[in-house]
Amino acid sequence: MHALTGSHGFVNILITEEQAQNPEFKKWGKQFYLGFLPYEKVPSYHCDNCDKYHAHSPKIEVHITDLIEDRPNTNVAYRCTECNEIVKVERIESPKGIDKKYITFDESGDWRPPTTEEIEAEMKKAEESAKKGEGCGLASSGYSSHLKRALHWAGKISYDIPQERVERLETTYRSSYLKIFEKELPGLVEAIKDKSWGFSKRVDEHSGISSFEGSFLSEMLPPLYEALPLIDLPEDTELKQDILWILLRHTDMYSKSVEELNKEKRKIEKSIIREKRKLADMIHLKKLYVRKSGLKPEEISESE
Ligand SMILES: [Zn+2]
């Protein structure tokens, strides 16, 4: 019997001599190199939370999420049957051959078909998230990850999610998001004004990024501009003026940037003219010398 130590205790496993001699296992003591072990092979464990040795198998739960290096990310959790604490979690190589009864979550739906309850639970999460308007812009809603999962699972078992239901999410989200945005507008405007130093495209030598990016204004402003035409402006003259101030500062930033680029352009144009003159001088000089020496330019380049 081997003990595998976890963060809240240890589990005892029964493995063959051959498995125990697996050099990778001996070296790392990781279940990753043994593969999945069913209840019979995990006869007992110690739970630190109960501070007790249990002479029976823990609960075994397999959790499969997205791919890591082309392999399904498969984790086995050993959970105490008494207090429900996770005694140990271990990543294994593949979900291949694992009895479905152990699989508590499968993102892919490939190893255990999703149930309609699971799909409905995801849809419910999406609907609640949309109702709360969770997201960082009209195009980056919080509900979309739940919807994506629900649709993916539904596809696996040909479960019907009506198109109107998906569209309703979009409209619900849109109106909730904008309502919240209206409420949070004064705070956002205040935060942007605090970063007034960031309205500059000048690049910092150390970080290699501009003040505009470094101040996060490049991330704070797009949601404001996206929402402005769609929301009702509050009857707050000061706030309205502050928004105009932001627009002016931002416009000014680009006009300065264009001005500086033009300055650089003129400088470069001047040096091109200078270099062209020198080039013409050199060509002339070379021609004169070739004529005087009686050599051919091809002979010179060959001799090099
Ligand atoms: Zn316990």
DSSP 96-141: TT--GGGEEEESSSSSSPPPHHHHHHHHHHHHHHHHHT-BSSTTSB
- Nearest to 137, CA basis, from 246, 29, 234, 230: 230
Task: Determine the distance separating the centroid of ligand 1 and the alpha carbon of 16, expressed in angstroms.
Answer: 28
Three-class SS state of 35: coil
85 and 74 Cβ atoms separated by less than 8 Å: no
Task: Determine the distance separating the centroid of ligand 1 and the alpha carbon of 58, expressed in angstroms.
Answer: 9
Task: Determine the distance separating the centroid of ligand 1 and the alpha carbon of 77, expressed in angstroms.
Answer: 13
Task: Determine the distance separating the centroid of ligand 1 and the alpha carbon of 9, expressed in angstroms.
Answer: 9
Task: Determine the distance separating the centroid of ligand 1 and the alpha carbon of 34, expressed in angstroms.
Answer: 25
Task: Determine the distance separating the centroid of ligand 1 and the alpha carbon of 12, expressed in angstroms.
Answer: 15
Task: Determine the distance separating the centroid of ligand 1 and the alpha carbon of 66, expressed in angstroms.
Answer: 29
Task: Determine the distance separating the centroid of ligand 1 and the alpha carbon of 8, expressed in angstroms.
Answer: 9
Cβ neighbourhood burial of 41 (10 Å; 0-12, 13-18, 19+): middle
Task: Give dist(CA 1, CA 13) in Å, integer.
Answer: 6
Task: Determine the distance separating the centroid of ligand 1 and the alpha carbon of 90, expressed in angstroms.
Answer: 18
Task: Determine the distance separating the centroid of ligand 1 and the alpha carbon of 84, expressed in angstroms.
Answer: 6
91 has which bridge partners? 75
Task: Determine the distance separating the centroid of ligand 1 and the alpha carbon of 56, expressed in angstroms.
Answer: 12
Tell which phi-psi region holds residue 208, choosing left (phi > 0), alpha (psi between -120 and 50) or beta: left
The H or E element that residue 92 is part of is strand 86-92
Task: Determine the distance separating the centroid of ligand 1 and the alpha carbon of 36, expressed in angstroms.
Answer: 22
Task: Determine the distance separating the centroid of ligand 1 and the alpha carbon of 45, expressed in angstroms.
Answer: 10
Task: Determine the distance separating the centroid of ligand 1 and the alpha carbon of 89, expressed in angstroms.
Answer: 15
Q: Amino acid identity of 258?
A: V
Instruction: Specify the pLDDT at position 53.
Output: 97
Task: Give dist(CA 75, CA 84) in Å, integer.
Answer: 17
Task: Determine the distance separating the centroid of ligand 1 and the alpha carbon of 271, expressed in angstroms.
Answer: 77
Instruction: Specify the pLDDT at position 304.
Output: 45
Task: Give dist(CA 112, CA 72) in Å, integer.
Answer: 13
Instruction: Specify the pLDDT at position 4.
Output: 86
Task: Determine the distance separating the centroid of ligand 1 and the alpha carbon of 98, expressed in angstroms.
Answer: 25
Task: Give dist(CA 135, CA 177) in Å, integer.
Answer: 7
Instruction: Give Cβ neighbours of residue 185 (< 8 Å, ≥ 6 apart).
Output: 227, 231, 234, 239
Instruction: Specify the pLDDT at position 234.
Output: 86
90 has which bridge partners? 76
Task: Determine the distance separating the centroid of ligand 1 and the alpha carbon of 5, expressed in angstroms.
Answer: 15
Instruction: Give Cβ neighbours of residue 218 (< 8 Å, ≥ 6 apart).
Output: 212
38 and 60 Cβ atoms separated by less than 8 Å: yes
| pLDDT one digit per residue (tens) for the chain, 304 residues | 888 888 899 999 998 888 888 888 888 878 888 889 999 999 999 999 999 999 999 999 999 997 777 788 999 999 999 999 999 999 998 899 999 999 999 999 999 999 999 999 999 999 999 999 999 999 999 999 999 999 999 999 999 999 999 999 999 999 999 999 999 999 999 999 999 999 999 898 888 999 999 999 999 999 999 999 999 988 999 999 999 999 999 999 999 999 999 999 999 999 999 999 999 999 999 999 989 988 876 766 654 4
